[in-house]
Amino acid sequence: MIWAWLYPIARVLGITFAALGLRGHSVLPIDVNQNHVPSGVLRDTVLTVNLEIAQGEWHPESDDGMTLSVYAFGQVGHPLENPGPLIRVPQGTVIHASLRNTLSVPVTVHGLRDPAGGEPAGGDMGIRVAPGTVTQITFKASTPGLYFYWGASEVDDLKLRHGIDSELTGAFVVDPPGPPAKDEIFVLEMVSEHAGASSRQTVATINGKSWPYTQRLQYDIGEPVRWRWINATNEPHALHLHGFYYRIDAFNRGRVQSYHGESRPMVVTQRIAQGETFDMSWSPSRAGRWLFHCHMLLHMIPAVVPRLPGLTMHASMTHANEQSTAHDAFGLGQLVLGITVGGSKKASSAPAWHAERKLQLAISERAGAPRYALQLRDGAEVPAPGKPGLIGPPIVLTRGQPVEIEVLNKLRQPTAIHWHGIELESYYDGVPGWGGASTQTTPPIAPGASFVARMTPPRAGTFIYHTHWHDQSQLTNGIYGPLIVLPPGQKLDPTSDLVFLFSIGDFAALQEIALINGTPQSKTMYLQAGKKYLFRLINISTNNQGMQVSLRNPDGPVDWRIIAKDGADLPPDLVRPSKAQLTITVGETYDVEFSTPAAQDLLLDLLLPALKIHSIQTLSFAPAPAPAQ
C-alpha cells in the first residue's frame, strides 16, 4: 500500500498519522529490541539521540500471532522498538536528547536525567511532552550503573502503569572507563488488567517477547556470563535460575550498590521490585538445557490478554490470538528464558553412575483438601502407616552421596518434579519438554508412570522439591516439600533443626489461604530456652513474592542470625545478629539461627501484604530442666 513507504518520510518530517489520513490503529509495526546496539550518535563526549513516542502494532509472541496496539519509543526515522532504543554511554558523557510526541495525548517521561540525582528509579518529577510537540533535554551521565527511562500517558506512577502505555520503557546504561563489558540487558515489561499482585490477566515479556519466543541464549561450559535486569513492570518478580547459582554484582534500589568478591550474594532466586535493576554473573558448569524465569506462577504460564480501554487487538489476528496460548504443551509462558549449554565431545569419559541410595516419592490422590498426597519410601523401608501429611515429607540427602529418587505418578494427570536449587544434570532437573540435551529431553511423568531423577548434591543446605507442571491446582494441593542436604556423617535432629515451609493452599470453601507446614492453624510448638535452634524458612507459594516473615514478642521482632540463603552459606563476615523480620520471595530459602536465654512465647508471623492475610505459629520457650542432683 502507498502509505507503507510514506511512514518513514512522514516521521522524519514530523507529519502526524492523522495528517496522512491514516486510522489510528494502522500504525507501524514495533520491532523487538534485544538491547545489543546503542542508539544515537556519539561524538567525543556528547551523545545526540532523537526519540519519538508513537502508537504501533506489537507481537509479544510469534510475528504472526497475538497483535496488540500499544505506545512505544523509537528513534526518529527508524522503526519503533520494544523495549525502546538502548541509551548506552561512557561515564561523563553529555546527552542531548529530543522527545517527539506523535500521540494525541500528553506523555510524561522519566529517567532521562543525571543518575547521580539520588532519586529512586521512576521517582523523578518527569518531563511532560504535549501532543504534537518536541522537547529538548540535556544532562550529564556521571554515575556508572544500570538505569532505565519510561513514559506514562495515563497514571504517572510506575507501580500503577499497566495499560496501553506500559511498554514505554528503554534501558539506559552508563559504563565506567574502559571497554564496555560483554553483557546481556533484559527489560521486564507487562500489560495487565490492573496494577498489583491480584491481577490475573497479564502479558509479561522479556525484551518485548513472551516464552517460547523470548531470546534463546547459548553458552559453553566455563564461559563467564553477565546479565543485567530492569523491572519496568508494576509488580515485583522472583527471578530463578535452574541448575546453577548466580552472583549479584550490583543492585539499584534508588542508588547503585556494588558488591565485590565473596561479598557478592550467591543465590538461585532473587526478588526485584518495581523500578529496581540488578547485575548478575554466573558460569555454567554442566551441559544441557536450562531455564531462567520468574517464579510467580502467573508470570510463567501463557499470557491472558486483558480487556483494557485503548489496548486493542488487531481484528485480522483473531484466529492466531485464539491459538496463542497453545504453543507450549507443558504450560510455560511469559517471563521465561531458555538456555543451552554446550558440552564436551568426550561424553564417554563421564564416570559410570552408581546410586548409593534409592528413594521413591509416590504422588497420589486423596479425598478432601488438599487433593494430593505424597509418601516417601527409603530403599526397602515401608512408608510410615497413617494418613499422608498436608505437604510432601522432608527428603533428607547427604552431600556428595549419589542418590536416585523415583517419582511415581498415581494421579489422573501428568506431573513433573523440579529439585529447586540442586546442582544436577539437566535431564533430571524436572522441566518436561525442555530439560536434557539434544539427544534426550525430559519427559512428563504420565499417569501411572514414573521417572527416576539422579543427583549427587555438592553442598549442604535447605532446598525445595515441587511440581513443575504448570497447573496451579498441583501447587496449591500439596505437591511440594522441603529438601534438606546434610554434611556427611550428620543426622537431622528434629528437636533443634526445624523446617517452616510457607505456602498457599486451596481449601475449597475457604479458597486460597496461607499455610505454615501445610496447615492454616498451627499448634503451639514447645521449645527450650537457652538451646540453639536452626530454622529453615522456605517460601513455595504461588505468586507471593513479597511474603513477610517475622519472629516477635509483644515488644516487636527479636534478634536472630541469618547464616544461609538458597542453600548457600553466607560469608562469615556477613553473619551477624539482625532483627527477625524478612521478605522471603517465592522460591527462596533462608537458614537462621535462634536462641533465647529467657522463657517466653514468640509468634512466627507469616504475612501476605497484598492479600492482608496472616498465618501464625506460636513458639513457646520453657526454662531448661534443672540438672539432676
Nearest CA to 606 out of 581, 628, 588, 629 is that of: 581
3 state SS of 419: strand
Per CATH, is 357-485 categorized as 2.60.40.420? yes
Q: What are 224-250's pLDDT values in tens digits?
A: 999 999 999 999 999 999 999 999 999
Half-sphere exposure in the Cβ direction for 242 (13 Å, CA) = 32
**11 pLDDT above the threshold of 60:** no
Query: 624 or 19, which is more confident?
Result: 624
Q: Which CATH architecture has domain 509-622?
A: Sandwich (2.60)
Cβ neighbours of residue 21 closer than 8 Å, sequence gap 6 or more? none
Q: Which amino acid type is present at position 199?
A: S
Q: Which amino acid type is present at position 214?
A: T
Query: 369 or 206, which is more confident?
Result: 206
For residues 516 and 539, the answer to whether their CB atoms sit within 8 Å is no
Q: Of 12-16, 40-44, 449-453, which range is least confident?
A: 12-16
Written as nine digits, the cell of 600 is: 517466653
Residue 326: per-residue pLDDT: 40
For residues 192 and 67, the answer to whether their CB atoms sit within 8 Å is no
Asked if domains 2-341 and 509-622 share a fold, the reply is yes
**306 pLDDT above the threshold of 60:** yes
Nearest CA to 475 out of 406, 389, 547, 540 is that of: 540
For residues 129 and 51, the answer to whether their CB atoms sit within 8 Å is no
381 confidence band (pLDDT: 50, 70, 90): low
Half-sphere exposure in the Cβ direction for 287 (13 Å, CA) = 12
343 confidence band (pLDDT: 50, 70, 90): confident
509 confidence band (pLDDT: 50, 70, 90): low
Is the bond preceding 83 in cis, omega lying within 30 degrees of 0? Answer: yes
Written as nine digits, the cell of 453 is: 531423577
Residue 349: per-residue pLDDT: 53
Question: Across the chain, what does the average pLDDT equal?
Answer: 89
Alpha carbon 367 to its chain centroid, in Å, reads 34
- Strands (DSSP E) contained in 237-356 are 237-241, 246-252, 256-258, 266-267, 269-272, 277-282, 288-294, 312-313, 336-342
H or E element at residue 500: strand 497-506
For residues 459 and 567, the answer to whether their CB atoms sit within 8 Å is yes
625 confidence band (pLDDT: 50, 70, 90): confident
Nearest CA to 531 out of 496, 499, 557, 500 is that of: 496
Mean pLDDT over 32-55 rounds to 97
Q: How far apart are alpha carbons 175 and 180 in whole angstroms? A: 6
For residues 551 and 600, the answer to whether their CB atoms sit within 8 Å is no
Round to the nearest angstrom and report the end-to-end CA distance of the chain: 100
- Kindly list the distances between the CA atom of residue 92 and the CA atoms of 107, 166, 184, 197, 435, in Å, as whole numbers in the listed order: 28, 30, 22, 39, 45
Cβ neighbours of residue 480 closer than 8 Å, sequence gap 6 or more? 391, 392, 464, 465, 466, 467, 501, 503, 540
Cell 542508539 belongs to: 39
Q: How far apart are alpha carbons 95 and 42 in whole angstroms? A: 9
Written as nine digits, the cell of 158 is: 510506575
Written as nine digits, the cell of 98 is: 529530543
Q: How far apart are alpha carbons 582 and 606 in whole angstroms? A: 10
Question: Taking the CA atoms of the chain, what radius of gyration do you get in angstroms?
Answer: 26
For the chain, the 3-state helix, strand and coil shares in percent, each to the nearest 5, are 10, 45, 45
**171 pLDDT above the threshold of 90:** yes
- Kindly list the distances between the CA atom of residue 556 and the CA atoms of 354, 553, 584, 603, in Å, as whole numbers in the listed order: 51, 5, 19, 10
Alpha carbon 249 to its chain centroid, in Å, reads 17
Q: Cα 202–541–195 angle (5° rounding)?
A: 30
Nearest CA to 45 out of 88, 85, 2, 92 is that of: 92
For residues 212 and 62, the answer to whether their CB atoms sit within 8 Å is no
Residue 129: per-residue pLDDT: 97
Instruction: Give one word for 435, left, alpha or beta, with left for phi > 0 and alpha for psi -120 to 50.
Output: beta
Q: Of 86-100, 506-520, 560-574, 596-610, which range is least confident?
A: 506-520
Domains in the chain: boundaries = 2-341, 357-485, 509-622
Q: How far apart are alpha carbons 514 and 61 in whole angstroms? A: 34
Cell 523500578 belongs to: 275
For residues 315 and 290, the answer to whether their CB atoms sit within 8 Å is no
**417 pLDDT above the threshold of 50:** yes
Residue 198: per-residue pLDDT: 83
For residues 47 and 87, the answer to whether their CB atoms sit within 8 Å is yes
**Class of CATH domain 2-341:** mainly beta
Burial, 545: exposed, middle or buried (Cβ in 10 Å; 0-12, 13-18, 19+)?
Answer: buried
Q: How far apart are alpha carbons 427 and 284 in whole angstroms? A: 15
Half-sphere exposure in the Cβ direction for 582 (13 Å, CA) = 24
For the chain, what percent of residues have pLDDT higher than 90?
Answer: 75
Residue 320: per-residue pLDDT: 41
